[in-house]
Amino acid sequence: MKNTVAIVTGASQGIGRSAAIRLARDFKAIVLAARNGRALDEVAEAVRQAGAEPLICAVDLSQAEAATTVVDGALKKFGRIDALLNIAGAVPQIDLFEMTDEQWKAGMELKLHGARRLTIRAWDVLKQAQGSVVFMSGSAALDPKPAFAAVAATNAAIIALAKAFAEQGIKDDVQVNSIVPGAVMTGRRRSFLEKWAPAHNMSVEDATKKFPEDAGIRRYGEPEEIAELLGFMVSPAAKWMTGTSVRMDGGEVKGI
């Protein structure tokens, strides 16, 4: 895989950052796409140290033109695209009865439509490379709650979108799957806990323990654990895996 090129969205933090560094062990080059260009500078250095050449694309994938910017930048620099990891996108955790139309649209525009546009724009190049696409969903899609309605709806749509692309991918020789992670301890989650805990008269430490306990799991996942799964899913070892949604959540979702 040392001549291959991967695009990782949401690469400035969390799972996206860990995925970019993990893939740098196997790929020749990693295209880093996210809004925070300053944070991408640090990730780019980590990618270099892991053995791959980085390309920074500081773009807002909720904007329609961003997909062309990322794909054209990758092709101009490296001449090919072998894997696309659609990780970008955070949907607001706001109660079903309080969320505005604008907030619904903002979440969908980045995570769902941003991934859809980028995959379509890269599709012909991925066909030439017999490449891979992975979409990032989330366990709320499988267990919706009123407080996470938009998160659940967007993540469920991601799973369905990946299935649709996978059906076309069987004809075009493009592998497409999705991952459904549970509660992962990212910087965004830490920030949420730091705000939530004092508002509920709890220490951050107690709040950090409370959420896994309420979910019936032993601990939060780590971004690096999801990144290892991503690394496998875009490797030659997983080439016959397509149209699949893989859950990695520590046992949070109890249904079959």
Record: fold of 5-183+222-248:
Rossmann fold (3.40.50)
Cα 4 from Cα 6, distance rounded (Å): 7
Q: Is this model's pTM higher than 0.85 or not?
A: yes
Taking the domains of the chain in order of start, what are their residue ranges? 5-183+222-248, 185-220
Residue appearing with tokens 């260009």: 37
Provide CB contacts within 8 A for 185, sequence distance 6+: 220, 221, 222, 223
Residues 186-237 pLDDT 10s: 988 898 899 989 999 999 999 999 989 988 999 999 999 999 999 999 999 9
Cα 206 from Cα 254, distance rounded (Å): 24
pLDDT interval class at 10 (50, 70, 90): very high
Question: Any alpha helices (H) in 28-148, and if so which ranges?
Answer: 37-50, 66-78, 101-107, 114-129
Name the nearest CA neighbour of 136 among 184, 98, 102: 184
Residues 42-51 pLDDT 10s: 999 999 999 9
Residues 73-131 pLDDT 10s: 999 999 999 999 999 988 877 888 988 998 888 889 999 999 999 999 999 999 999 99
